Protein backbone atom coordinates (compact mmCIF):
# COMPACT_ATOMS: atom_id res chain seq x y z
CA UNK A 1 0.00 0.00 0.00
CA UNK A 2 1.07 3.56 -0.72
CA UNK A 3 0.82 6.18 2.02
CA UNK A 4 -2.76 6.89 3.09
CA UNK A 5 -3.00 10.26 1.37
CA UNK A 6 -1.87 8.73 -1.94
CA UNK A 7 -4.20 5.75 -1.69
CA UNK A 8 -7.13 8.11 -1.03
CA UNK A 9 -6.30 10.26 -4.03
CA UNK A 10 -5.88 7.23 -6.30
CA UNK A 11 -9.23 5.83 -5.18
CA UNK A 12 -10.89 9.21 -5.78
CA UNK A 13 -9.51 9.22 -9.34
CA UNK A 14 -10.38 5.57 -9.92
CA UNK A 15 -6.75 4.64 -10.48
CA UNK A 16 -5.44 1.18 -9.64
CA UNK A 17 -2.05 -0.51 -9.88
CA UNK A 18 -1.66 -1.63 -13.50
CA UNK A 19 -3.50 1.37 -14.99
CA UNK A 20 -1.68 3.68 -17.37
CA UNK A 21 -1.38 7.13 -15.83
CA UNK A 22 0.07 10.55 -16.57
CA UNK A 23 1.89 12.24 -13.73
CA UNK A 24 2.86 15.92 -14.00
CA UNK A 25 5.61 17.54 -12.02
CA UNK A 26 6.29 21.24 -12.39
CA UNK A 27 7.53 21.34 -16.00
CA UNK A 28 7.71 17.68 -16.86
CA UNK A 29 5.22 14.88 -17.14
CA UNK A 30 5.65 11.11 -17.21
CA UNK A 31 3.36 8.48 -18.65
CA UNK A 32 3.49 4.86 -17.62
CA UNK A 33 1.94 2.01 -15.72
CA UNK A 34 1.30 2.54 -12.02
CA UNK A 35 3.36 -0.05 -10.12
CA UNK A 36 2.98 -1.31 -6.56
CA UNK A 37 4.79 0.89 -4.05
CA UNK A 38 8.53 0.47 -3.62
CA UNK A 39 9.69 -1.56 -0.67
CA UNK A 40 11.10 1.28 1.28
CA UNK A 41 9.16 4.47 0.66
CA UNK A 42 5.34 4.64 0.60
CA UNK A 43 5.46 8.36 -0.36
CA UNK A 44 7.02 7.71 -3.75
CA UNK A 45 4.77 6.84 -6.69
CA UNK A 46 6.37 4.18 -8.89
CA UNK A 47 5.57 4.06 -12.59
CA UNK A 48 6.92 1.86 -15.34
CA UNK A 49 7.86 3.87 -18.42
CA UNK A 50 7.48 2.58 -21.97
CA UNK A 51 11.23 1.82 -22.07
CA UNK A 52 10.79 -0.73 -19.26
CA UNK A 53 12.37 1.41 -16.54
CA UNK A 54 10.63 2.05 -13.26
CA UNK A 55 10.90 5.56 -11.93
CA UNK A 56 9.90 6.89 -8.54
CA UNK A 57 8.29 10.32 -8.16
CA UNK A 58 7.93 11.89 -4.75
CA UNK A 59 4.27 12.53 -3.98
CA UNK A 60 4.96 16.02 -2.71
CA UNK A 61 6.36 17.01 -6.13
CA UNK A 62 3.35 15.83 -8.10
CA UNK A 63 1.15 18.62 -9.42
CA UNK A 64 -1.39 16.55 -11.32
CA UNK A 65 -2.23 12.92 -11.87
CA UNK A 66 -4.62 11.51 -14.50
CA UNK A 67 -5.72 8.09 -15.68
CA UNK A 68 -4.85 7.45 -19.34
CA UNK A 69 -6.01 3.87 -19.74
CA UNK A 70 -7.41 1.02 -17.65
CA UNK A 71 -5.11 -1.91 -16.98
CA UNK A 72 -5.16 -3.88 -20.25
CA UNK A 73 -5.72 -7.42 -19.14
CA UNK A 74 -7.42 -8.31 -15.96
CA UNK A 75 -4.45 -10.10 -14.47
CA UNK A 76 -4.73 -10.19 -10.73
CA UNK A 77 -1.47 -9.11 -9.12
CA UNK A 78 -1.24 -12.30 -7.11
CA UNK A 79 -2.56 -14.96 -9.44
CA UNK A 80 -3.22 -18.44 -8.23
CA UNK A 81 -0.78 -21.02 -9.54
CA UNK A 82 -3.44 -23.00 -11.45
CA UNK A 83 -4.39 -19.88 -13.43
CA UNK A 84 -0.76 -19.23 -14.34
CA UNK A 85 -0.29 -22.86 -15.34
CA UNK A 86 -3.09 -22.83 -17.86
CA UNK A 87 -2.16 -19.67 -19.67
CA UNK A 88 0.88 -20.54 -21.80
CA UNK A 89 2.27 -23.49 -23.66
CA UNK A 90 5.72 -23.19 -22.05
CA UNK A 91 6.57 -23.41 -18.35
CA UNK A 92 9.78 -22.11 -16.84
CA UNK A 93 11.13 -21.77 -13.32
CA UNK A 94 12.84 -18.77 -11.81
CA UNK A 95 15.20 -19.89 -9.06
CA UNK A 96 16.44 -16.99 -7.02
CA UNK A 97 19.80 -17.20 -5.24
CA UNK A 98 20.28 -13.59 -4.07
CA UNK A 99 22.65 -10.95 -5.46
CA UNK A 100 21.85 -7.37 -6.41
CA UNK A 101 18.92 -8.46 -8.56
CA UNK A 102 17.16 -9.66 -5.38
CA UNK A 103 18.30 -6.72 -3.24
CA UNK A 104 16.75 -3.66 -1.72
CA UNK A 105 18.01 -0.90 0.49
CA UNK A 106 18.43 -1.85 4.11
CA UNK A 107 17.89 1.27 6.18
CA UNK A 108 19.82 -0.04 9.15
CA UNK A 109 23.13 -0.05 7.27
CA UNK A 110 22.27 2.17 4.30
CA UNK A 111 23.56 -0.59 1.99
CA UNK A 112 21.56 -3.01 -0.15
CA UNK A 113 20.79 -6.53 1.05
CA UNK A 114 19.50 -9.62 -0.82
CA UNK A 115 16.11 -9.70 0.89
CA UNK A 116 13.71 -10.11 -2.06
CA UNK A 117 12.27 -13.50 -2.89
CA UNK A 118 11.75 -14.96 -6.35
CA UNK A 119 8.03 -14.28 -5.87
CA UNK A 120 8.77 -10.59 -5.11
CA UNK A 121 10.76 -10.32 -8.33
CA UNK A 122 8.04 -12.02 -10.31
CA UNK A 123 5.33 -9.77 -8.93
CA UNK A 124 7.34 -6.61 -9.52
CA UNK A 125 7.58 -7.26 -13.28
CA UNK A 126 4.12 -7.77 -14.80
CA UNK A 127 5.55 -8.44 -18.30
CA UNK A 128 6.85 -11.80 -17.08
CA UNK A 129 3.28 -13.11 -16.99
CA UNK A 130 3.01 -12.58 -20.73
CA UNK A 131 6.00 -14.78 -21.52
CA UNK A 132 5.38 -18.22 -20.05
CA UNK A 133 3.91 -20.00 -17.06
CA UNK A 134 6.43 -19.04 -14.44
CA UNK A 135 7.13 -20.78 -11.17
CA UNK A 136 9.30 -18.57 -8.96
CA UNK A 137 11.19 -20.12 -6.06
CA UNK A 138 13.87 -18.83 -3.72
CA UNK A 139 16.60 -21.41 -3.17
CA UNK A 140 19.10 -19.21 -1.30
CA UNK A 141 19.69 -15.54 -0.50
CA UNK A 142 23.40 -14.82 -0.74
CA UNK A 143 25.75 -12.49 -2.53
CA UNK A 144 27.72 -14.40 -5.08
CA UNK A 145 31.10 -13.43 -3.64
CA UNK A 146 30.16 -15.49 -0.56
CA UNK A 147 29.32 -18.63 -2.50
CA UNK A 148 31.27 -21.84 -2.22
CA UNK A 149 31.13 -25.33 -3.68
CA UNK A 150 28.18 -26.28 -1.46
CA UNK A 151 26.13 -23.58 -3.17
CA UNK A 152 27.04 -25.02 -6.57
CA UNK A 153 26.04 -28.48 -5.41
CA UNK A 154 22.70 -27.19 -4.18
CA UNK A 155 22.07 -25.17 -7.36
CA UNK A 156 22.90 -28.17 -9.55
CA UNK A 157 20.54 -30.43 -7.60
CA UNK A 158 17.73 -27.85 -7.73
CA UNK A 159 18.20 -27.44 -11.49
CA UNK A 160 18.21 -31.20 -11.97
CA UNK A 161 14.94 -31.52 -10.01
CA UNK A 162 13.32 -28.82 -12.14
CA UNK A 163 14.41 -30.66 -15.29
CA UNK A 164 12.84 -33.85 -13.92
CA UNK A 165 9.59 -31.95 -13.36
CA UNK A 166 9.56 -31.27 -17.10
CA UNK A 167 10.00 -27.49 -17.28
CA UNK A 168 10.95 -25.95 -20.64
CA UNK A 169 13.63 -23.66 -19.25
CA UNK A 170 15.17 -22.40 -16.02
CA UNK A 171 16.21 -18.88 -15.07
CA UNK A 172 18.62 -18.46 -12.16
CA UNK A 173 18.61 -14.98 -10.63
CA UNK A 174 22.12 -14.57 -9.24
CA UNK A 175 24.72 -12.06 -8.08
CA UNK A 176 26.91 -10.83 -10.92
CA UNK A 177 30.32 -10.88 -9.20
CA UNK A 178 30.84 -14.61 -9.57
CA UNK A 179 28.01 -15.49 -11.91
CA UNK A 180 30.51 -16.84 -14.44
CA UNK A 181 31.91 -19.28 -11.85
CA UNK A 182 28.39 -20.54 -11.13
CA UNK A 183 27.46 -20.79 -14.80
CA UNK A 184 30.64 -22.83 -15.35
CA UNK A 185 29.82 -25.03 -12.36
CA UNK A 186 26.35 -25.79 -13.70
CA UNK A 187 27.68 -26.32 -17.25
CA UNK A 188 29.76 -29.20 -15.92
CA UNK A 189 27.48 -30.50 -13.17
CA UNK A 190 24.43 -31.09 -15.36
CA UNK A 191 25.44 -33.11 -18.40
CA UNK A 192 23.34 -33.80 -21.48
CA UNK A 193 21.15 -30.81 -20.87
CA UNK A 194 18.15 -30.55 -23.20
CA UNK A 195 16.78 -27.15 -22.15
CA UNK A 196 18.23 -23.66 -21.55
CA UNK A 197 19.39 -22.76 -18.04
CA UNK A 198 19.88 -19.00 -18.00
CA UNK A 199 21.77 -17.04 -15.34
CA UNK A 200 20.65 -13.45 -14.90
CA UNK A 201 21.61 -10.61 -12.57
CA UNK A 202 21.50 -6.85 -12.25
CA UNK A 203 24.03 -4.14 -11.64
CA UNK A 204 21.51 -1.92 -9.78
CA UNK A 205 19.19 -3.33 -7.13
CA UNK A 206 15.62 -4.00 -8.15
CA UNK A 207 14.15 -1.29 -5.88
CA UNK A 208 15.95 1.50 -7.79
CA UNK A 209 14.40 3.40 -10.64
CA UNK A 210 17.57 2.86 -12.69
CA UNK A 211 17.64 -0.91 -12.16
CA UNK A 212 18.50 -3.13 -15.10
CA UNK A 213 16.76 -6.05 -13.39
CA UNK A 214 13.48 -5.88 -15.35
CA UNK A 215 15.05 -5.84 -18.83
CA UNK A 216 17.47 -8.62 -17.90
CA UNK A 217 14.79 -10.79 -16.33
CA UNK A 218 12.31 -10.33 -19.17
CA UNK A 219 15.04 -11.18 -21.70
CA UNK A 220 16.24 -14.23 -19.82
CA UNK A 221 12.68 -15.56 -19.42
CA UNK A 222 12.08 -15.04 -23.15
CA UNK A 223 15.26 -16.94 -23.92
CA UNK A 224 14.57 -19.72 -21.41
CA UNK A 225 11.09 -20.32 -22.79
CA UNK A 226 11.54 -19.69 -26.50
CA UNK A 227 15.13 -20.31 -27.49
CA UNK A 228 15.93 -23.19 -29.80
CA UNK A 229 19.17 -23.72 -27.90
CA UNK A 230 20.01 -25.81 -24.85
CA UNK A 231 22.83 -25.35 -22.37
CA UNK A 232 23.88 -23.03 -19.57
CA UNK A 233 23.94 -19.34 -20.45
CA UNK A 234 24.33 -15.85 -19.00
CA UNK A 235 21.86 -13.20 -20.16
CA UNK A 236 22.63 -9.54 -19.38
CA UNK A 237 22.51 -6.12 -21.08
CA UNK A 238 24.32 -6.19 -24.42
CA UNK A 239 25.33 -2.52 -24.27
CA UNK A 240 24.63 0.49 -22.05
CA UNK A 241 21.26 0.87 -23.75
CA UNK A 242 18.11 -1.03 -22.81
CA UNK A 243 17.60 -2.13 -26.37
CA UNK A 244 18.79 -5.73 -26.13
CA UNK A 245 20.38 -8.37 -23.94
CA UNK A 246 23.24 -10.61 -25.00
CA UNK A 247 23.24 -14.32 -24.25
CA UNK A 248 26.66 -15.80 -23.53
CA UNK A 249 27.69 -19.41 -23.20
CA UNK A 250 28.12 -20.18 -19.49
CA UNK A 251 31.74 -21.33 -19.89
CA UNK A 252 32.86 -18.48 -22.12
CA UNK A 253 31.75 -15.31 -20.36
CA UNK A 254 33.30 -13.07 -17.78
CA UNK A 255 32.35 -10.01 -15.74
CA UNK A 256 34.67 -7.45 -17.32
CA UNK A 257 33.39 -4.27 -15.72
CA UNK A 258 32.63 -3.54 -12.08
CA UNK A 259 29.52 -1.45 -12.57
CA UNK A 260 28.34 -1.10 -16.18
CA UNK A 261 25.14 -2.82 -17.23
CA UNK A 262 26.99 -4.54 -20.09
CA UNK A 263 29.62 -5.89 -17.70
CA UNK A 264 29.48 -9.41 -19.15
CA UNK A 265 31.24 -10.23 -22.39
CA UNK A 266 32.00 -13.46 -24.20
CA UNK A 267 35.75 -13.97 -24.24
CA UNK A 268 37.47 -15.42 -27.31
CA UNK A 269 33.98 -16.10 -28.62
CA UNK A 270 30.83 -14.42 -29.84
CA UNK A 271 27.71 -14.27 -27.69
CA UNK A 272 25.37 -17.04 -28.83
CA UNK A 273 22.30 -14.82 -29.18
CA UNK A 274 20.72 -11.43 -28.71
CA UNK A 275 17.27 -10.96 -27.16
CA UNK A 276 15.24 -8.03 -28.47
CA UNK A 277 12.89 -8.07 -25.55
CA UNK A 278 10.44 -5.43 -26.78
CA UNK A 279 9.87 -7.32 -30.03
CA UNK A 280 10.01 -10.63 -28.13
CA UNK A 281 12.58 -11.77 -30.67
CA UNK A 282 15.74 -13.86 -30.42
CA UNK A 283 18.54 -13.32 -32.93
CA UNK A 284 20.99 -16.21 -33.05
CA UNK A 285 24.61 -15.16 -33.45
CA UNK A 286 26.30 -18.52 -33.15
CA UNK A 287 23.71 -21.27 -33.40
CA UNK A 288 26.18 -24.02 -34.24
CA UNK A 289 28.30 -23.18 -31.15
CA UNK A 290 25.71 -24.87 -28.93
CA UNK A 291 23.34 -27.80 -28.80
CA UNK A 292 19.75 -27.52 -29.86
CA UNK A 293 16.87 -27.79 -27.42
CA UNK A 294 15.68 -31.36 -26.96
CA UNK A 295 13.41 -31.97 -24.02
CA UNK A 296 13.67 -35.72 -24.43
CA UNK A 297 17.34 -35.75 -23.52
CA UNK A 298 18.13 -37.60 -20.28
CA UNK A 299 20.24 -35.23 -18.21
CA UNK A 300 22.82 -36.61 -15.81
CA UNK A 301 23.90 -35.03 -12.56
CA UNK A 302 27.54 -34.88 -11.40
CA UNK A 303 27.17 -32.49 -8.51
CA UNK A 304 30.34 -33.09 -6.49
CA UNK A 305 33.15 -30.57 -6.28
CA UNK A 306 36.56 -31.18 -4.70
CA UNK A 307 37.19 -28.38 -2.23
CA UNK A 308 40.97 -28.65 -2.07
CA UNK A 309 41.57 -26.87 -5.34
CA UNK A 310 43.28 -23.47 -5.69
CA UNK A 311 43.50 -20.78 -8.35
CA UNK A 312 46.84 -18.96 -8.16
CA UNK A 313 48.04 -15.94 -10.10
CA UNK A 314 51.74 -15.95 -10.99
CA UNK A 315 53.53 -12.60 -11.03
CA UNK A 316 56.98 -11.10 -10.78
CA UNK A 317 58.25 -11.73 -7.26
CA UNK A 318 55.87 -14.69 -6.76
CA UNK A 319 56.86 -16.70 -3.71
CA UNK A 320 57.06 -20.44 -4.55
CA UNK A 321 56.32 -21.22 -0.88
CA UNK A 322 52.68 -20.53 -1.74
CA UNK A 323 52.66 -23.61 -3.96
CA UNK A 324 54.62 -25.65 -1.38
CA UNK A 325 52.07 -24.65 1.24
CA UNK A 326 49.18 -25.96 -0.88
CA UNK A 327 50.92 -29.29 -1.33
CA UNK A 328 51.65 -29.51 2.42
CA UNK A 329 47.95 -28.91 2.99
CA UNK A 330 47.11 -31.82 0.63
CA UNK A 331 45.55 -29.76 -2.14
CA UNK A 332 44.54 -32.05 -4.98
CA UNK A 333 44.42 -29.51 -7.77
CA UNK A 334 46.11 -26.21 -8.62
CA UNK A 335 45.21 -23.94 -11.51
CA UNK A 336 47.95 -21.46 -12.32
CA UNK A 337 47.22 -18.19 -14.05
CA UNK A 338 50.46 -17.80 -15.93
CA UNK A 339 51.74 -14.72 -17.68
CA UNK A 340 51.49 -14.38 -21.48
CA UNK A 341 51.08 -17.72 -23.22
CA UNK A 342 51.04 -19.46 -19.81
CA UNK A 343 54.47 -18.79 -18.36
CA UNK A 344 55.83 -19.17 -14.84
CA UNK A 345 58.93 -17.53 -13.34
CA UNK A 346 61.87 -19.93 -13.70
CA UNK A 347 62.60 -19.87 -9.99
CA UNK A 348 59.08 -21.29 -9.31
CA UNK A 349 59.78 -24.31 -11.53
CA UNK A 350 61.06 -26.42 -8.65
CA UNK A 351 57.87 -25.91 -6.63
CA UNK A 352 55.70 -26.64 -9.69
CA UNK A 353 57.61 -29.85 -10.42
CA UNK A 354 57.07 -30.99 -6.85
CA UNK A 355 53.37 -30.02 -7.00
CA UNK A 356 52.89 -32.14 -10.13
CA UNK A 357 54.02 -35.20 -8.14
CA UNK A 358 51.16 -34.78 -5.65
CA UNK A 359 48.38 -32.91 -7.42
CA UNK A 360 46.94 -32.05 -10.82
CA UNK A 361 48.48 -28.77 -11.98
CA UNK A 362 46.91 -26.83 -14.85
CA UNK A 363 48.14 -23.73 -16.66
CA UNK A 364 45.92 -20.93 -17.95
CA UNK A 365 46.72 -17.39 -19.05
CA UNK A 366 46.02 -14.21 -17.14
CA UNK A 367 45.88 -12.39 -20.51
CA UNK A 368 42.24 -13.48 -20.79
CA UNK A 369 42.23 -12.95 -24.57
CA UNK A 370 44.33 -15.19 -26.82
CA UNK A 371 45.70 -18.65 -26.32
CA UNK A 372 47.79 -20.76 -23.95
CA UNK A 373 50.81 -22.25 -25.68
CA UNK A 374 53.55 -23.99 -23.69
CA UNK A 375 55.49 -25.02 -26.76
CA UNK A 376 56.96 -21.68 -27.73
CA UNK A 377 59.61 -21.17 -25.00
CA UNK A 378 61.84 -23.76 -23.37
CA UNK A 379 60.36 -22.77 -20.00
CA UNK A 380 56.91 -23.77 -21.24
CA UNK A 381 58.29 -27.06 -22.52
CA UNK A 382 59.77 -27.67 -19.04
CA UNK A 383 56.34 -27.14 -17.55
CA UNK A 384 54.86 -29.68 -19.95
CA UNK A 385 57.61 -32.14 -19.08
CA UNK A 386 56.86 -31.69 -15.38
CA UNK A 387 53.24 -32.72 -16.08
CA UNK A 388 51.49 -29.34 -16.16
CA UNK A 389 48.29 -29.53 -18.22
CA UNK A 390 47.76 -26.54 -20.53
CA UNK A 391 44.15 -25.37 -20.37
CA UNK A 392 42.81 -23.23 -23.21
CA UNK A 393 39.98 -21.73 -21.22
CA UNK A 394 39.29 -18.91 -18.81
CA UNK A 395 41.22 -19.37 -15.53
CA UNK A 396 37.98 -19.31 -13.50
CA UNK A 397 36.48 -21.96 -15.73
CA UNK A 398 39.59 -24.15 -15.43
CA UNK A 399 39.39 -23.79 -11.64
CA UNK A 400 35.73 -24.84 -11.51
CA UNK A 401 36.29 -27.61 -14.05
CA UNK A 402 39.21 -29.04 -12.09
CA UNK A 403 37.23 -28.99 -8.82
CA UNK A 404 34.33 -30.68 -10.60
CA UNK A 405 36.47 -33.28 -12.35
CA UNK A 406 38.32 -34.17 -9.11
CA UNK A 407 34.98 -34.37 -7.30
CA UNK A 408 33.52 -36.93 -9.68
CA UNK A 409 36.26 -38.86 -11.47
CA UNK A 410 39.52 -40.75 -10.91
CA UNK A 411 42.89 -38.99 -11.20
CA UNK A 412 43.63 -40.55 -14.59
CA UNK A 413 40.21 -39.55 -15.89
CA UNK A 414 40.72 -36.00 -14.58
CA UNK A 415 43.92 -35.63 -16.63
CA UNK A 416 42.00 -36.57 -19.75
CA UNK A 417 38.94 -34.49 -18.90
CA UNK A 418 41.02 -31.36 -18.42
CA UNK A 419 42.26 -31.71 -22.00
CA UNK A 420 38.81 -32.43 -23.42
CA UNK A 421 36.02 -30.03 -24.33
CA UNK A 422 33.17 -30.87 -21.95
CA UNK A 423 30.87 -27.83 -22.09
CA UNK A 424 32.20 -25.57 -24.85
CA UNK A 425 34.88 -24.20 -22.54
CA UNK A 426 37.93 -24.92 -24.68
CA UNK A 427 38.98 -22.26 -27.14
CA UNK A 428 39.33 -24.17 -30.36
CA UNK A 429 39.28 -21.22 -32.66
CA UNK A 430 39.74 -17.63 -31.55
CA UNK A 431 36.87 -15.56 -32.87
CA UNK A 432 37.72 -12.26 -31.24
CA UNK A 433 40.79 -10.63 -29.82
CA UNK A 434 43.63 -12.42 -31.68
N1 LIG B 1 28.11 -8.45 -4.95
C2 LIG B 1 26.91 -8.74 -5.70
C3 LIG B 1 26.88 -10.23 -5.99
O4 LIG B 1 27.63 -10.70 -6.77
C5 LIG B 1 26.89 -7.93 -6.94
C6 LIG B 1 25.73 -8.18 -7.89
O7 LIG B 1 24.85 -8.95 -7.67
O8 LIG B 1 25.73 -7.53 -8.94
O9 LIG B 1 26.10 -10.93 -5.42
Local confidence band at 73 (pLDDT 50, 70, 90 cut-offs): low
With respect to residue 423, please indicate whether it lies within any of the assigned structural domains: no
Instruction: Say yes or no to pLDDT of 295 above 70.
Output: yes
Q: What's the 81 CA to ligand 1 centre distance in angstroms? A: 30
Q: Pick from 177, 183, 396 the residue to mutate for probing ligand 1's pocket: most ligand atoms within 8 Å of its CB.
A: 177
Ligand 1 in reach of 99 Cβ (< 6 A): yes
| pTM score, whole prediction | 0.81
Question: What mean pLDDT is predicted for residues 391-416?
Answer: 97
With respect to residue 426, please indicate whether it lies within any of the assigned structural domains: no
- Classify the C-alpha dihedral 185-227-220-92 as positive or negative: negative
Q: What's the 176 CA to ligand 1 centre distance in angstroms? A: 5
266 with 407, same domain: the answer is no
Ligand 1 in reach of 145 Cβ (< 6 A): yes
106 with 220, same domain: the answer is yes
pLDDT, residue 106, reads 72
CATH value at residue 141: 3.40.50.1170
CATH value at residue 35: 2.30.30.520
374 with 268, same domain: the answer is no
9 with 111, same domain: the answer is no
CATH value at residue 323: 3.40.50.40
111 with 179, same domain: the answer is yes
Active site residues: 100, 176-177, 255
259 with 316, same domain: the answer is no
Residue nearest to atom 3 of ligand 1 (CA): 175
Taking only the tens place, the pLDDT of each residue in 339-385 is 999 999 999 999 999 999 999 999 999 998 999 999 999 999 999 99
Structural domain of 47 = 4-69
Point out the domain boundary residue: 284, 301, 318.
Answer: 301
Taking only the tens place, the pLDDT of each residue in 205-227 is 877 777 899 999 999 999 999 99
326 with 291, same domain: the answer is no
Ligand 1 atom closest to the Cα of residue 177 is 4
144 with 249, same domain: the answer is yes
11 with 102, same domain: the answer is no
Point out the domain boundary residue: 248, 281, 301.
Answer: 301
Point out the domain boundary residue: 252, 283, 301.
Answer: 301
Q: Following DSSP, what letter does each residue of 124-167 receive, concatenated?
A: H-GGGGGTSEEEEEEEEEE-GGG--HHHHHHHHHHHHHHHHHT-
With respect to residue 433, please indicate whether it lies within any of the assigned structural domains: no
Rounded CA-CA distance 118/98 in Å is 9
Ligand 1 in reach of 333 Cβ (< 6 A): no
pLDDT, residue 40, reads 54
Ligand 1 in reach of 176 Cβ (< 6 A): yes
pLDDT, residue 216, reads 96
Split into its structural domains, the chain has a count of 3
Q: Pick from 97, 100, 179 the residue to mutate for probing ligand 1's pocket: most ligand atoms within 8 Å of its CB.
A: 100
17 with 159, same domain: the answer is no
Is residue 61 within 8 Å of 25, Cβ to Cβ?
yes
With respect to residue 80, please indicate whether it lies within any of the assigned structural domains: no
Local confidence band at 52 (pLDDT 50, 70, 90 cut-offs): low
With respect to residue 246, please indicate whether it lies within any of the assigned structural domains: yes
Taking only the tens place, the pLDDT of each residue in 127-155 is 999 999 999 999 999 999 999 999 999 99
Ligand 1 in reach of 305 Cβ (< 6 A): no
Rounded CA-CA distance 344/297 in Å is 43
Ligand 1 in reach of 97 Cβ (< 6 A): no
Ligand 1 in reach of 149 Cβ (< 6 A): no
With respect to residue 82, please indicate whether it lies within any of the assigned structural domains: no
197 with 337, same domain: the answer is no
Q: What's the 143 CA to ligand 1 centre distance in angstroms? A: 5
Taking only the tens place, the pLDDT of each residue in 27-36 is 889 998 887 7
| Residue from 102, 101, 404, 45 nearest 250 by CA | 404
With respect to residue 21, please indicate whether it lies within any of the assigned structural domains: yes
Q: Pick from 104, 145, 263 the residue to mutate for probing ligand 1's pocket: most ligand atoms within 8 Å of its CB.
A: 145
Helices (H) and strands (E) in the chain, counts: 11, 24
User: Where is mean pLDDT largest: 87-91, 102-106, 321-325?
Assistant: 321-325
352 with 404, same domain: the answer is yes
Is residue 145 within 8 Å of 175, Cβ to Cβ?
yes
Is residue 128 within 8 Å of 219, Cβ to Cβ?
no
Three-state secondary structure call for residue 411: helix
Amino acid sequence: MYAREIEEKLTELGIKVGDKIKVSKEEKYYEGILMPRSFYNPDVLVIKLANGYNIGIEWKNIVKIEKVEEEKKKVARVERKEEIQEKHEKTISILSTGGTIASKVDYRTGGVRPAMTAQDLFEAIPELREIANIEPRTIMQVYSESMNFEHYEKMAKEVFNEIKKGVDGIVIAHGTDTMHYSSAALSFAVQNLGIPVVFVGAQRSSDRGSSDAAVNLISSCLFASQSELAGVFICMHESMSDYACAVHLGTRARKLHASRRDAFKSVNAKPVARVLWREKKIEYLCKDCVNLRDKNKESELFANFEKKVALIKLHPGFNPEIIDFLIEKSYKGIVLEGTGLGHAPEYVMHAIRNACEHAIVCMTSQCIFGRVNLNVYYTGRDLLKAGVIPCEMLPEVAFIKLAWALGNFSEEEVKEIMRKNVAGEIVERILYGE
